Amino acid sequence: DAGVIQSPRHEVTEMGQEVTLRCKPISGHNSLFWYRQTMMRGLELLIYFNNNVPIDDSGMPEDRFSAKMPNASFSTLKIQPSEPRDSAVYFCASSLDRGLEAFFGQGTRLTVV
Amino acid sequence: GIQVEQSPPDLILQEGANSTLRCNFSDSVNNLQWFHQNPWGQLINLFYIPSGTKQNGRLSATTVATERYSLLYISSSQTTDSGVYFCAGSSGGSNYKLTFGKGTLLTVNP
């Protein structure tokens, strides 16, 4: 398996623009996660999907952030409008089931100027 | 959620040296993972180890769940071992939610 695939790897955008990050989980995994890594806060969970259903979105910072999982092989994280404080590395991860080993994608480094 | 503390925060070694990294957690965990974040930012899975001992080459890990800690051993360190080592755990009803420690920054000099 190719592992968790994220795109793009790098994104530079201007403040106010919409940003969409994409993720393809490992085939057969029913749990998908979006994490964010910053120097100040470290790695933190934004949202968790199980069987394509959002289970826990308590980590989503505000309404500007939204995530969808239309099918078992694709998820998006959208920021609209983007702000400079959203600059971070965003990771997608998946696991066979909740509580089992999670595997991370290579991350998307987002810079909002 | 649980609290995860890692020590030491920084570690500098000469190539060939051994090291032990520690992870303490505030509650019982049912998922405990060790990761290596390389200089390119990738999070590489090292161990999934809610309890017991595992070995993979020069690396091994032990989790003592009853005492709420885990150890990562690196033997005969190499320059490619440099990077940040994270432990992450989850517990209870939120067993999907990995809480990460702040990491140990390891630098291995030639």
pLDDT in tens, A60-92: 998 999 999 999 999 999 999 999 999 999 999
Task: Give the model's confidence band at A49: pLDDT under 50 very low, under 70 low, under 90 confident, else very high.
Answer: very high
**Which residues in chain B touch residue A48, judged by CB atoms under 8 angstroms apart?**
96-97
Q: Are strands B52-56 and B4-7 parallel, antiparallel or unpaired?
A: unpaired
- Mutation target to probe the B interface, by most B beta carbons within 10 A, among A10, A35, A44, A45 is A45
Contacts of A33 in chain B (CB under 8 A): 96, 98
Of A42, A98, A100, the CB nearest to B100: A42
Specify the pLDDT at position A27: 97
Question: Which of A91, A101, A110 is best to mutate for the B interface (most B CBs within 10 A)?
Answer: A101
Q: What is the pLDDT of residue B85?
A: 98
Which CA distances in Å does B103 have to A92, B25, B43?
A: 19, 13, 12
Interface test with B, best of A104, A108, A109, A110 (most B CBs within 10 A): A104
pLDDT band at B103 (very low <50, low <70, confident <90, very high): very high
* Contact residues for B93 (Cβ-Cβ < 8 A; gap 6+): none
Per-residue DSSP letter, A18: -
Sign of CA dihedral A3, A35, A59, A15: negative
- Residue in B88, B95, B102 nearest the CB of A98: B95
Residue B93 in contact with partner chain A when CB distance is under 8 A? no
Å from A80 to nearest chain B CA? Answer: 25
- For the range A38-44, what are the long-range contacts, defined as Cβ-Cβ under 8 Å and sequence gap of 24 or more? A38/A88, A38/A89, A42/B100, A42/B101, A42/B102, A42/B103, A43/A91, A43/B86, A43/B88, A43/B100, A44/B100
| CB burial readout B70-103, b (16+ within 10 A) else e | bbbebeebeeebbbbbbbbbbbeebbbbbbbbeb
- Tell me the pLDDT band of A1, cut-offs 50, 70 and 90: low
Tokens 């694709």 found at: A74
- Any chain A CB within 8 A of the CB of B58? no
Q: Is B94 helix (H, G, I), strand (E, B) or coil?
A: helix
Whole-number pLDDT of residue A62: 87
Each residue's pLDDT tens digit, B41-71: 999 999 999 999 999 999 999 999 999 999 9
B64 with B27: CB under 8 angstroms?
Answer: no
